[in-house]
Each structure stands twice: as C-alpha cells, then as structure tokens.
C-alpha cells in the first residue's frame, strides 16, 4: 500500500510539472512585461515616451512589444492591434518613423505548420483527459480488479488473508448453539464426499439473524478459519452505486471469483441493504437495488455449477428481506444469534480479558450477572473502558473499582462531578432514586437496583442501575405489573416526601407506558378487551415496509385501549404509594445516606434496608480465583459434544431395540406356555368325557376358550 501511494504522488507531480510548463510556454515570460491597453499605447507613442518598438504579425492581430522611456532593459510592455484597424496601423507606422529617438522594427510573420498548430491546440486537452482518466482509475482502484480504468463493475469483496491469525471457534464465546449449527458447514467444506455418499446436500446459504454486536461476522470468520478455505467478505451496500447496472455486474464478478477459489465462503454483511423486499417503500421497478437483488437470486439459484460455495449472510432485520431470498435453495437455514446469557457473558468477558491485566478483586462472574442484555460488543467495550480508566490512574492492573466506573460510563455516560447542583435538587434526586431502590427491595418481581447514585452522569441528575434479578425470556402479568411499580417509585417518592413532583421521571413514564400498552395491545392481558392483539407493528418506509399502516381496530376500541392503559398505570401507582408509605423509614435512611455517600452499591443498599446501617467493606479483602482457560469451546469440543450426543442417541436406540426384542421373546414363551397348558387341559377334558360323559363348562368359559384359539391362530 505505501508503494502505491508513493507512485501515485510521483505521477501527480510529473503531470503537474508538465501542465505548468505548457501553460508557461503559452503565456511566455510575463513576469517583467506590462500589458498596455491600446489607447494607453497610442498616448505613449504620440507623447514620444517609447524608446523601442517592435511590431510583428500574429494570428488575427499585430503584436506590439517595446520599452518605455525610463524603464530598465529587462522591463518591457506589450499591446495588440486588431487586423481590422489597418488605418490605425498606418498612422502608428508614420508616427514611429517620424520620431528619431525611437528604435523602430517591423518583423515578418512567423510561418507555422498546420501540424504544429494542431499539436499545440490539442496537447492541453489530451493532458486534461489523461489526468481525468487517471484520477478515475485511482478512485476505482479500491474495488476488486487492480484499479483499472473505469473498473466500476468489479466486485469489492475482500479476500480474507489466510496467512494472518485465523479466527477459530474458541475465539467465539457465548454462542455454543450457533457453533453447533455451523459444524455441518465446516465438515462439508473439509470433506464434501462424506455427504455426497449418502445423497445429503448441505444448506446452500446460512442466514445469521440477530441484533447488532452479537458476533455474526465473527462467527462467519470462525467457520472459514476452521474449514481452512478462502473467505470473501463484502457489505450489502457495496453492490449499489450511482451507475445503473454496476450492482448486478459486481454480483457476477463476485461469484466468478468464488468459482475460481472453490471451495470457499462468501459472507455478505448487512444483506438487508440489497435484499430488501421488492416493490416495497418508495422505489420503483427500475430501482438499481432491485436489479442487484435479481442478479443475486439468479446466481444463488444456479448453484448446480457452483459446488463448494457456501453463502453466509448477516442481518438484524430479517422481516424486511425478500421472500425469494429465504426460500430453500438460497438462504434455507436461519440461525438466530442472540445476546448471550449469564454463562455466555462470563465466557465473552474472559475472552476479552485475556490480554488485560486484571486484579484479584475483579469478579467476571459477578460482572456477567450485573450486565443482562449486554451483547458481545458491549462487553468488549466495557472492559476497554475499564482499561482506559485504569490507565488514567496510572495503574498496572484493572481492579473492580475501574470495572464499576466503566459500567457506569457505558450505561449512563461519564460523571459530571463539577456540575453545580442546588441542595433542593440534590434532595429531590436522592429521594427519587431511593424510591426506585425501596421498590426493588420489596417486590420480588421488580427490577433489582444494583447501584444508585446522585452524581450527575450524561443528561441525568442521578440514576439507579435497575436490572432483572435473572435472565428472563418471557414474563407473566404480575411480573410486568411489578416492573411498572418499580419504574414509578421515583415519582411517587417525590410526591410522598415533598408534596410536589419534578420532571426527572419522564424516562420512567416512557418505559412504564410502553409496558402498559404492550400488555393491552400485544400480550392480551386486558381483562376487558380479552386475549386479542391490536395494531400491526410495521417498520419504517426506508426499512422496506409500507409508507403508512391503518389500524385494524375501530375508534371505540382505541378509546378502550387508552382506558385500560390508564387503569393499569393508576392501579400500580397507588400500589407503589402504599409500599413507600409502609417503608418510609428505610426510604428516608437510604435517601439521607445518598446525600452523604453519593453512591451506593447493592451490598450497601441491602445493609441499609435490612440492618439500618452501612456494612463494613474493603476492596483488598475481596479476592477471586482466576480461570484464564475458560473461553469459548473449540471446534473439537463442539464436535465431540455432538458425537457424544449422537452416541447417546444410538445407545438409547439400541437399548430400546433390545428391550423390544426381549419383550417379544417373553411374550412368545408365555404364549407357548399358555397353549401347552390349554392343550393339556383339553386332553384331560376329552379323556374325562370318554369315561364320564360330557362335562358342562361354566358360562363364559366357551367364549374364553374360543378367543384363545383365535389368538393362537392369529
């Protein structure tokens, strides 16, 4: 890359020098020349102020050069006489000849060949055209194709360098199930004959679906690293340009390069940029993006001659993708890549902490429990912030206080300790945050307050870190109601303790209103409206949905929805008031302690709430055993787990077959025993009949005997 940059700079300098020389040759040495207007020249000539004068015919003009009286020999002037002013030229000649002190000369016109004239005419144009093409080729040099002139249609896909450090499955933590799903892709790329022998076809395309920062791109790189095949990476936005047809051309070029390097992996990041549903939004049928999508569909559907090419794409908006893109034969397998759970977060933290010196006080397991909802990128950013905080303090290791500060910075922003706040506002903030804290301690299903502070951070005058007590995947109606109570705790505390309210609860109201609305219109938790869902949550127009969506309910239902939302919030508001009044003593104690300490963590909050005092603590006493080897499972580990599961299934199936065979053998022997017993009884009965006469069998025994005979025949 530096060699190319240096070569480009040299070429630009050479072109600049050539252009400068050409223009200088046209302009001449005009540094010491003074250009006189025609009237000024006539006045100087008539006044006798010219010492030297030369007249030479040029193209369509007479060129006048000379030197005024009093000028140095290096100085001169120039002027021109149009061809149509022949009378003026004759008068100038007579005046010049009549002046004895004037050195007057008439030079003949220079004869110039037509080729020379054309050359000097077109050289500037050719140089300008060459410079334009050169700059265009450099502008297109970043795409695939080596920077050739007008290289618009070449793919911009980047080939991952296999010589660099490969990304392996052990580098991907917190995504064990996702890696198990991709084991088949890795095995196919390593040994495709294993699947061909039994007629199995590997999925042609794998779509990784998940929110931003969950490691979709990293998982795709890990698949390529484990399989040891070329890895082409491109963004969905790289296909579309301002020129029509460029996107489709780049798709064709991408697949041509992939065929040359098969088996390989093509990874398209943010495929929703090019794979959005056709005919939606503001675009028309002539949309360049739709042409690109059509070409992509054609290339993916023609995989009969593209054996060994695996398509992997990533998106966080699968709902806006074109259905033709998701059908079997294209992206026929979707793998959700969600945010990690508590164990996954701990594994992610350990992966990102491998190159950071952590103090013994850092408990990554506790940090993972305090960060529900964090993605892998969020956790990486958190540890990086902790390292920056430790570096500001000139520390050699990162301790738990640095991690706590980094967590606060990530969640709420940097602290503004220099911000001047009045005592009244401090009291309001302290009781507001204490209200959230008390509700979190009283209600089992409310969010737990892990940390509360009245130090301003970001746009907030204070904040409470309210997190779920554990990872939840669905919630019940009482749990949602407790969550609303926890959000209303700050406003109710202000009203109970000061008799007035402030604007500090606007975000609490926004979240509580959203929960109440979801309970009514989405979750069917309204007793009055019943288990119904109202409205359609369409995306925005630029995300591929309709420009507007009409509600699928009447105005009367809309009024009922508003009434139900108000009833839910009002009921929980009164419930929150009763809780805070019952625990007024703890509320006041926590608020007054906040005014002194400014920040309380979970251990201190529990000490104040349950024991009425702050616990004694020392950071140096908290040591945690490190487990550096606890990272994401490798390819071999995942493969071993799948093989063990397969062996368990085979063993279970074998045991089941053996049990069935044993059961059938037992039934066969039992049937033979019963038949032998019946035959023996039958022989005894016949013998007795011959000696004593017919024997009368009890009622029902004939039917049983006949049934037994039928069973024997069957």
Q: How far apart are CA 319 and CA 130, in angstroms?
A: 48
Check the annotation: does 28 bind a ligand: no
Instruction: Classify 79 as helix, strand or coil.
Output: strand
Check the annotation: does 210 bind a ligand: yes
Check the annotation: does 508 bind a ligand: yes
Q: How far apart are CA 349 and CA 391, in angstroms?
A: 19
Check the annotation: does 263 bind a ligand: no
- DSSP code, position 457: B
Looking at 550-630, which runs of residues are DSSP E strands? 599-601
Q: How far apart are CA 220 and CA 312, in angstroms?
A: 7
What's phi and psi for 474, nearest 5 deg? -155, 160
Residues marked as catalytic: 433
Exposure letters 625-637 (e unless 16+ CB within 10 A, then b): eeeeeebbbbbee
Check the annotation: does 212 bind a ligand: yes
Q: How far apart are CA 58 and CA 68, in angstroms?
A: 22
Cβ contacts of 29 within 8 Å, gap of 6 or more = none
Check the annotation: does 216 bind a ligand: yes
- CA-to-CA separations, 46 to 62, 96, 270, in angstroms, rounded: 19, 9, 81
- Percent helix, strand, coil in the chain, to 5, is 55, 10, 35
What is the sign of the dihedral through the CA atoms of 489, 493, 499 and 501? negative
Q: Is 124 left (phi over 0), alpha (psi -120 to 50) or beta?
A: alpha
What is the sign of the dihedral through the CA atoms of 570, 575, 581 and 584? negative
Check the annotation: does 544 bind a ligand: no
Question: What are the tokens at 280?
Answer: 């939606």
- CA-to-CA separations, 489 to 269, 437, 478, 500, in angstroms, rounded: 43, 8, 17, 14
Closest CA to 240 of 280, 270, 274, 272: 274
What's phi and psi for 20, nearest 5 deg? -65, -40
Q: How far apart are CA 236 and CA 314, in angstroms?
A: 10
Question: What are the tokens at 201?
Answer: 């076809």
Q: How far apart are CA 412 and CA 452, in angstroms?
A: 12
Check the annotation: does 436 bind a ligand: yes
Q: Is the preceding omega at residue 263 within 30 degrees of 0, hence cis?
A: yes
Check the annotation: does 215 bind a ligand: yes
Check the annotation: does 286 bind a ligand: no
Closest CA to 582 of 439, 399, 369, 469: 439
Cβ contacts of 34 within 8 Å, gap of 6 or more = 75, 76, 77, 78
Check the annotation: does 213 bind a ligand: yes
Cβ contacts of 361 within 8 Å, gap of 6 or more = 399, 400, 401, 619, 620, 622, 623, 624
| Binding annotation for Zn(2+) | 432, 436, 508
| Binding annotation | 210-217, 432, 436, 508
| Binding annotation for ATP | 210-217
């Amino acid at each position: 890359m530096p060699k190319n940059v240096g070569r480009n700079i040299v070429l630009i300098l050479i072109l600049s020098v050539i252009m400068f020389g050409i223009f200088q040759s046209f302009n001449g040495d005009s540094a010491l020349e003074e250009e006189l207007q025609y009237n000024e020249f006539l006045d100087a000539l008539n006044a006798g102020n010219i010492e030297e004068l030369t007249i030479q015919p040029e193209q369509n003009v007479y060129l006048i050069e000379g030197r005024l009286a009093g000028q140095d020999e290096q100085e001169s002037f120039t002027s021109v006489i149009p061809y149509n002013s022949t009378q003026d030229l004759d008068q100038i000649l007579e005046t010049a000849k009549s002046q004895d002190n004037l050195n007057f000369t008439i030079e003949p016109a220079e004869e110039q060949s037509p080729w020379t004239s054309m050359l000097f005419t077109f050289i500037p144009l050719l140089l300008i055209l060459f410079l334009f093409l050169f700059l265009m080729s450099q502008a297109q040099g970043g795409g695939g194709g080596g920077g050739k002139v007008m290289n618009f249609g070449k793919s911009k896909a980047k080939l991952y360098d296999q010589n660099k450090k490969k990304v392996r499955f052990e580098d991907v933590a917190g995504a064990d199930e996702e890696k198990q799903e991709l084991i088949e892709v890795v095995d196919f790329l390593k040994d495709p004959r294993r699947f061909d022998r039994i007629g199995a076809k590997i999925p042609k395309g794998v779509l990784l679906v998940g929110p931003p920062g969950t490691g979709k791109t990293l998982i795709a790189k890990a698949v390529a690293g484990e399989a040891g095949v070329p890895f082409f990476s491109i963004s969905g936005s790289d296909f579309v340009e301002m020129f029509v047809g460029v996107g489709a051309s780049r798709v064709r070029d991408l697949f041509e390069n992939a065929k040359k390097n098969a088996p390989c992996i093509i990874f398209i990041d943010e495929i929703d940029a090019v794979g959005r549903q056709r005919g939606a939004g503001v675009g028309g049928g002539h949309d360049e993006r739709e042409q690109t999508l059509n070409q992509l569909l054609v290339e993916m559907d023609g995989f009969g001659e593209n054996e060994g090419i695996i398509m992997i794409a990533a998106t966080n908006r699968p709902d806006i993708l074109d259905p033709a893109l998701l059908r079997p034969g294209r992206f026929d397998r979707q793998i959700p890549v969600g945010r990690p759970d508590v164990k996954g977060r701990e594994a992610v933290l350990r992966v990102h902490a491998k190159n950071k010196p952590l103090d013994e006080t850092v408990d990554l397991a506790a940090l993972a429990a305090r960060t529900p909802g964090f993605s892998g990128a969020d956790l990486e950013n958190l540890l990086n912030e902790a390292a920056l905080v430790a570096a500001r303090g000139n520390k050699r290791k990162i301790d738990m206080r640095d991690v706590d500060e980094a967590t606060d910075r990530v969640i709420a922003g940097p602290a503004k300790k220099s911000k001047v706040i009045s005592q009244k506002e401090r009291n309001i903030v302290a009781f507001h945050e204490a209200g959230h804290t008390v509700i979190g301690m009283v209600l089992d299903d409310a969010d737990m307050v892990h940390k509360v502070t009245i130090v301003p951070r970001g746009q907030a005058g204070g904040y409470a870190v309210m997190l779920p007590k554990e990872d939840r995947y669905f919630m019940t109606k009482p749990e949602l109601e407790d969550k609303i109570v926890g959000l209303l705790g700050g406003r109710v505390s202000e009203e109970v303790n000061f008799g007035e309210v402030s604007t500090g609860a606007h975000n609490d109201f926004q979240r509580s209103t959203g929960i109440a609305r979801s309970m009514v219109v989405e979750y069917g938790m309204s007793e009055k409206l019943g288990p119904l869902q109202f409205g359609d949550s369409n995306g925005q127009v630029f995300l591929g949905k309709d420009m507007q969506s009409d509600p699928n309910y009447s105005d009367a239902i809309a009024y009922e929805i508003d009434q139900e939302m108000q009833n839910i919030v009002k009921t929980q508001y009164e419930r929150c008031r009763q809780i805070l009044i019952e625990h007024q003593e703890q509320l006041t104690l926590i608020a007054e302690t906040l005014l002194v300490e400014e920040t309380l963590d979970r251990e201190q909050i529990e000490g104040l709430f349950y024991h009425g005092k702050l616990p004694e603590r020392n950071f140096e006493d908290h040591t945690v055993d490190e487990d550096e080897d606890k990272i994401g499972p490798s390819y071999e580990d995942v493969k071993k787990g799948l093989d063990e599961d397969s062996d368990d299934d085979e063993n279970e199936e074998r045991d089941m077959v053996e049990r069935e065979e044993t059961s059938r053998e037992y039934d066969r022997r039992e049937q033979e025993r019963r038949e032998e017993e019946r035959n023996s009884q039958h022989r005894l009965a016949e013998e007795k009949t011959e000696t004593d006469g017919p024997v009368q069998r009890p009622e029902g025994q004939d039917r049983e005997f006949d049934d037994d005979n039928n069973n024997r025949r069957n």
